[in-house]
Amino acid sequence: MQITSFKQYEEDYKKSVENPEQFWGEVAQNFQWRKPWFKVLSWNFNEPDIKWFEGAKLNITENCLDRHLAANGDKPAIIWEPNNPEEESVIYTYKMLHERVCRFANVLKRNGAKKGDRICIYMPMVPELAIAVLACARIGAVHSVIFGGFSAKSIADRINDSQCKVVITADGAYRGNKQIPLKDVIDDALIGCPTVEKCIVLTHVRTPVSMLKGRDVWWEDEVKHVNDICEAEEMDAEDILFILYTSGSTGKPKGVVHTCGGYMVYAGYTFANVFNYQPGEVYFCTADIGWITGHSYIVYGPLSQGATSVLFEGIPTYPSPSRFWDIVEKYKVNTLYTAPTAIRSLMSYGDDPLEGKDLSSIRVLGSVGEPINEEAWHWFDEKIGHGKAPIVDTWWQTETGGIMISPIATVTPTKPSFATLPLPGIQPILVDENGNEIEGNGVMGNLCIKFPWPGMLRTTYGDHERCKQTYFSTYENLYFTGDGCLRDEDGYYRITGRVDDVLNVSGHRIGTAEVENAINMHAGVVESAVVGYPHDVKGQGIYAFVIYPDMHGEAELSKKDILQTVTRVIGAIAKPDKILFVSGLPKTRSGKIMRRILRKIAEGDTGNLGDTSTLLDPGVVEEIIEAAKKL
Residues that bind ligand WT7 (CB under 6 A): 246, 291-293, 368-371, 393-398, 419, 481-483, 495, 497-498, 504, 509
* Smallest separation, CB 157 to ligand WT7 (Å): 18
Q: Is the dihedral of CA 63, 65, 67, 72 positive or negative?
A: positive
- Apex 454 CA angle, 449 and 457, nearest 5: 70
- Of 92 and 291, which CB lies nearer to ligand WT7 in the complex structure? 291
Strand partners, 166: 119, 198
* DSSP letter string, 32-76: --SB--SEEEEEETTTTEEEEEET-EE-HHIIIIIHHHHHHTTSE
* Smallest separation, CB 288 to ligand WT7 (Å): 10
Closest CA to 403 of 454, 344, 438: 454
* Smallest separation, CB 539 to ligand WT7 (Å): 9
- Apex 253 CA angle, 249 and 256, nearest 5: 105
* DSSP letter string, 290-355: TSHHHIIIIIIHHHHTT-EEEEE-S-TTSS-TTHHHHHHHHHT-SEEEE-HHHHHHHHTT-SGGGT
Rounded to the nearest 5°, which phi and psi values hold at 38? -100, -20
d(CA 186, CA 181): 9
* Smallest separation, CB 319 to ligand WT7 (Å): 27
- Of 269 and 545, which CB lies nearer to ligand WT7 in the complex structure? 269
- Of 263 and 545, which CB lies nearer to ligand WT7 in the complex structure? 263
Strand partners, 447: 430
* Smallest separation, CB 314 to ligand WT7 (Å): 20
* Smallest separation, CB 368 to ligand WT7 (Å): 5
d(CA 369, CA 352): 26
- Of 81 and 370, which CB lies nearer to ligand WT7 in the complex structure? 370
The set of residues, in sequence order, having a beta carbon less than 8 Å from that of 119 and lying 6+ positions away, is 108, 113, 136, 141, 142, 143, 144, 164, 165, 166, 167, 168
d(CA 503, CA 575): 12
d(CA 438, CA 446): 9
Contact (CB, 8 A) for 236 and 260: yes
d(CA 82, CA 279): 25
- Of 169 and 446, which CB lies nearer to ligand WT7 in the complex structure? 446
Contact (CB, 8 A) for 207 and 179: yes
Q: What are the C-alpha distances in Å from 100 to residues 93, 124, 173, 223, 533? A: 11, 17, 21, 9, 45
- Of 72 and 470, which CB lies nearer to ligand WT7 in the complex structure? 470
With b for 16 or more beta-carbon neighbours within 10 A and e for fewer, the 145-163 pattern comes to bbbbbbbbbbbbbbbebbe
- Of 498 and 538, which CB lies nearer to ligand WT7 in the complex structure? 498
- Of 12 and 393, which CB lies nearer to ligand WT7 in the complex structure? 393
* Smallest separation, CB 540 to ligand WT7 (Å): 10
The set of residues, in sequence order, having a beta carbon less than 8 Å from that of 214 and lying 6+ positions away, is none
- Of 37 and 263, which CB lies nearer to ligand WT7 in the complex structure? 263
* Smallest separation, CB 38 to ligand WT7 (Å): 32
- Of 390 and 586, which CB lies nearer to ligand WT7 in the complex structure? 390
Contact (CB, 8 A) for 80 and 130: no
* Smallest separation, CB 158 to ligand WT7 (Å): 15
- Of 40 and 289, which CB lies nearer to ligand WT7 in the complex structure? 289
* Smallest separation, CB 405 to ligand WT7 (Å): 8
- Of 305 and 397, which CB lies nearer to ligand WT7 in the complex structure? 397
- Of 238 and 483, which CB lies nearer to ligand WT7 in the complex structure? 483
* Smallest separation, CB 554 to ligand WT7 (Å): 36
- Of 512 and 558, which CB lies nearer to ligand WT7 in the complex structure? 512
* Smallest separation, CB 495 to ligand WT7 (Å): 4
d(CA 287, CA 111): 30
* Smallest separation, CB 483 to ligand WT7 (Å): 5
* Smallest separation, CB 139 to ligand WT7 (Å): 27
